[in-house]
A and B are shown apart, each in its own frame.
Chain A
């Protein structure tokens, strides 16, 4: 084991044993199932050649059989059974209706993956409550400024890695994603936005404000957009969209619920495509989703 090599690399490694005790306020509910895993993972952290410079999945070296995972990227002729189930992290700030929708899809098999952790900046939001109900660990990030320990972005990255998160799905998370997280999970973070980007996007455009702006503009169509996350609000590559009409007598609430209905369906379809590795990239950098029914079609 390379413990001695690993420790000098980052100042936080030496502090790992203390921060990671399950009783801290970082993990509001840590079910029994997870703690033994956590205990065993502590050792593996120092044994792996983890460092910021090596943070990419391909470079992960694990010797223990329990950690031996198959990374089957881009192998399209493998039946679904051979494709590894993906680990999803969902980030929410509010009610979490998209989170619930995706969670249910993981249970009924539409989405070949599992929600392994919920991250929220509001410990008492609807999404966090639902996660607790379903025994999904919850991480509060960013923590409050006056909390005893600072849970930094690096800590979040480490925590997500400990859960072996493959993809991060933002579902109404209102904080800007820190650069370190974007770099740690390149082309693996998605966000859903309730308008047809690039219209009505960017700073200040969230929640009901989006729908109010759409109606005020006189636009006759709106709809959800799922896009990859880069270092600014709502500017990453568009992966999928759905369109809904805006009617002459719509209120913002009516439009919002019409769009939300499509959001749920769209996020489940996209999550399914993600977990089944059906995302490809066009020459010009636009991500496409390969149709499940007809692998020659893309949407």
Chain B
């Protein structure tokens, strides 16, 4: 029996619903009610999108294509689950993850393996109900599911998108301040050196620092002659005039 249900990737925004080797599917809850007994097995058929039309349902469980034959048969069946697991009401988890089992896929295993998908696809899936005597019901094929292809990190360009102007402003202001300072120092030192070579006396406007104290020694003025001095030449001291001695008697 062909059921009208179309399997699909869940529409919710989950970053891991489609990866490079796995994808998630909505659980087909309540889809098989009335078409499958509780003991029947529901399989998931995964096929390359271009090989889905050529897929023929296997007549019995022994003819189920295993995971290892995907490269040659271009399809496999996996996720064998009892039909009771999809009965209403919806159990948890609400999604099926295809390709999530990395431990299986050994040589010659008969158990269904839900191994990672080897290539990006695209793939198409459908659910198939297998009873004791062969396939009993199936859903429609899904839309093609394309897995992610990752880019190489060497394509990432770490250069900044646009150059900020603030560092340029800072650099130019600082450079001009520094140049102005250097020029001022050179100018001041140069002016001092020039000044001390050309001029001996301090320039106008310089204030005298208080460490200097001039001791003013006035030059000596000529002292007035003491009374009674004769006309002796100055500097030789002053002699008291000798009274003329009594004139010698005649």
Q: Judge: A and B partners, yes or no.
A: no
